[in-house]
Amino acid sequence: MKYVWGARAVTSRFRIVGDAIVQNTSFLETQTILRALEFSLSKGGFGSDPRQKKTAAALVKSMKSNKSVSGRHQQLAGVLKKGATIEQMMKAVGASRRTIFRYLNHFEEAGNEIVISGGRYQLKS
């Protein structure tokens, strides 16, 4: 993940997250950030600053949305726990065949083992 703090000019390759600009965030990094934000929100980790809490809650909501790669990763993980064909994954996530394979690569790069049996892909527990 690459951060540029306090920058205001952005190209289309970047996405703004708070004051940070994030580019090329890996699946594992994104999931770690999401879990940390969820944990902090549940434990009152943002103290008395309502702006930080509101921003964190909005970021979690955005990261879980099917409009974000992170949200689609989450949807795909749910489908893969049960096992699914490529077509089922495409329908569940609303993505192309190529994108599904790219997401499967993201899971494997993060250390998740995917088992293929009878044309069905499943995350190994």
Q: Is the distance from CB of 46 to CB of 52 less than 8 angstroms?
A: yes
With contact defined as beta carbons under 8 Å apart, do 41 and 57 qualify? Answer: yes
Task: Report the DSSP pairing between strands 114-117 and 20-22.
Answer: unpaired
Alpha helices by DSSP H, listed for 8-125, are 27-42, 50-64, 69-82, 86-93, 97-109
Where do the domains of the chain lie? 26-64, 69-123
Per-residue pLDDT of the chain (125 residues; tens, 9 = 90+): 333 333 333 333 444 444 444 445 678 888 888 899 999 999 988 888 889 889 999 989 988 888 888 889 989 999 999 999 999 999 999 999 999 999 999 999 888 999 999 999 999 87
CATH of domain 69-123: 1.10.10.10
CA 76 to CA 93: how far, in whole Å?
Answer: 6
Specify the residue for token string 């499967």: 104
